[in-house]
Structures are given as C-alpha cells and as structure tokens.
Chains A and B, each alone.
Chain A
Amino acid sequence: LLFLRSWSTRARISGKSQLLFALVFTTRYLDLFTSFISLYNTSMKLIYIACSYATVYLIYMKFKATYDGNHDTFRVEFLIVPVGGLSFLVNHDFSPLEILWTFSIYLESVAILPQLFMISKTGEAETITTHYLFFLGLYRALYLVNWIWRYYFEGFFDLIAVVAGVVQTVLYCDFFYLYVTKVLKGKKLSLPA
C-alpha cells in the first residue's frame, strides 16, 4: 500500500514514522546473524528490513518533491532518547544484542506517533493511508490474542513484548474508532477543526 501511495502525489505518509520502523527492524533482526528459527522467520525478517528501507528511500529520495515535510514535524528524539534509556534499564539480559532487541520492541510501540501527529496536524488522511494504519495496528493487536494462546498452551510469556504490544495497540485504538465509524462507512477520514 505504501509503495502504491508513494507513486502518487501528496502522500501524507510520515517519513519520520517510516524511518523509525526501519530502525525498529534493523535493531530487532540482528539475531539473523546469531540464531535460526525457520525459513519463514528468516525470510520475513529480510522482507521487513528491505521494505522498510525501500519505503524510506521512496519518501526521502525518489519522491522527495511530494513529501509533506511541513506537516511531519514530530520530534523523534523525544521518542528515541527515553526509549533508549528504558531499554538499558528494563531488559531480559544486559547484553548488546538483547538491549537492541528491547529498544526495537519499545520503539515499535511508539513509532506510529509521528504519523498520528501528522494526521492530527493536517486534520485528514487519505483513505489508503487509513487502510495502511488499520492493518499495521491490527498486526500487533492480533499478537495479543496469540500471546494469550501461547501462555495457556505453551507456557510462553514475554512481559516486555506483551506490555509494549498493549501500549502499541492502545495508541491505535483512537484511530481504530475513527476507521470503523468513518472510513468503513465510505467517508474520508477528516478530523473536526
């Protein structure tokens, strides 16, 4: 969806959110070098990394002229600095790879904020952007169901991932509400002034 969107004008996609996602996948999938889980797992990791960088490239390089930088003004250091600090303090293991993994989990939970901030600034979103956001939010929300399943049937429980996943899903809730009440009824998402 993002690729398609980038090809038309006035994408209103937050380049900052996409940069953060590229950083998220880079720091999380460093375990590509140390552990192998499955062919599916490895290929999805590579696809995520490749797509996130391709999206950043499209926004900042190839389609620089249509990038709406004036509305993409969220200060990402306000996310990266606290998230970086927290990943040093609260992690499973004080090792470089594990701290970077924790950083990526925390950062992912808030990486969408520049995008939501951009929508609140412009007061509207293209319908395709809202579909993208909906499925991005749904992706982590479905993990909540998966974690309950895994807790009961496999005894698996990762507190860091679960708390961050809940935070991430909560951030999308407001948007989910608008998506269901407006976009699914065929209206364009526009916020009252």
Chain B
Amino acid sequence: FQKGLKHDEL
C-alpha cells in the first residue's frame, strides 16, 4: 500500500 501525498483538506 503505497503512501500518497499529505492532503489536509476534506
């Protein structure tokens, strides 16, 4: 399971 970018918005 590869990590994605950090998205802080909903």
**Beta-carbon contact of A33 and B4 below 8 Å:** no
- Report Cα–Cα, A34/B2, bound state, in Å: 9
- Total count of chain B residues near the partner, CB < 8 A: 10
> How would residues 1 to 10 of chain B score, 1 for a CB under 8 Å from any chain A CB and 0 otherwise?
1111111111
Interface extent on A, as a size class?
Answer: 20 to 34
Q: How far is the CA of A96 from the CA of B5 in the complex (A)?
A: 11
CB distance from B6 to the nearest CB of A (A): 5
Q: Is the CB of A97 within 8 A of B3?
A: yes
Instruction: Assess whether A96 is in contact with B6, with CB atoms less than 8 Å apart.
Output: no
Residues of chain A having any CB pair with chain B under 8 Å: 28, 30-31, 33-35, 37, 41, 44-45, 48, 92-93, 95-98, 100-101, 143, 158, 161
Chain A nearest Cβ from B1, distance in angstroms: 7
List of A residues within 8 angstroms of B3 by Cβ: 34-35, 95, 97
- Using known A-B contacts A44-B10, A48-B10, A161-B9, determine if residue A101 contacts B1 with beta carbons closer than 8 Å: no
Query: Least Cβ distance of B9 to chain A in Å?
Result: 7
